[in-house]
Amino acid sequence: MYSSTHDVLVLTETWLSQEIFDKEILPTGFNIYRNDRASRGGGVLIAINNTIPSKLLTTPSCLEVLIVEVQCKLTLTFCVVYIPPNSNSLYHSDVLAFLNSYASKPHTFILGDFNYPDINWHSLVGHSDIFNAFCDFIYSHNLSQLVTFPTHVKGNTLDLILTSSPQLVNNLNSCELSYNRLSSDHFLITFTLSELPTSVCCWMCQA
């Protein structure tokens, strides 16, 4: 991360706590927005290059969700989501209910580790009521799910990019995370956002 030249960093399962300061996570030059889990594990983070105006919109304490607005020529909304494995149906419903207010906004990007391994992303059909409710959410907000390749070492597509503006996304790639002292069973996802005065590069992974 310290050598990254990306302007937007999105992390899930950060395992951060209030005892860890922002300056211990990234070098200077980033505005860091966090929603740390109160107990061990979990947590989400969005870091924005401080040359790009940004502000926190909301961070619900009961969900591992964080929403940040970025102001370029266009106003971009980044939502990072972490849904832990084996979360109950109420948690899934609460996440979707919360995202409903933002999903239809122009130029919204909902990213994160959703842990939905059994959804067919080509047909957008799931194998359970929970998965199908998520597919209905995508349909109802006319979102595109852009990640069609495995994002986990076991071959599942768990990390997703949902957006109302797929035309802005370019150079979508994944690779193994192999930085010193930072490893994950999830792959790193990178992409750029074009047609903007400042090309925004996103670097998304599980810490």
CA distances from 93 to 25, 63, 112, 202 (A): 32, 11, 16, 27
Domains and CATH numbers, the chain: 8-206 (3.60.10.10)
Q: What is the pLDDT of residues 128-143, one digit of tens each?
A: 999 999 999 999 999 9
Q: Per mean pLDDT, which of 78-82, 191-195, 201-205 is the most reliable?
A: 78-82
Q: What pTM, to 2 d.p., does this model score?
A: 0.88
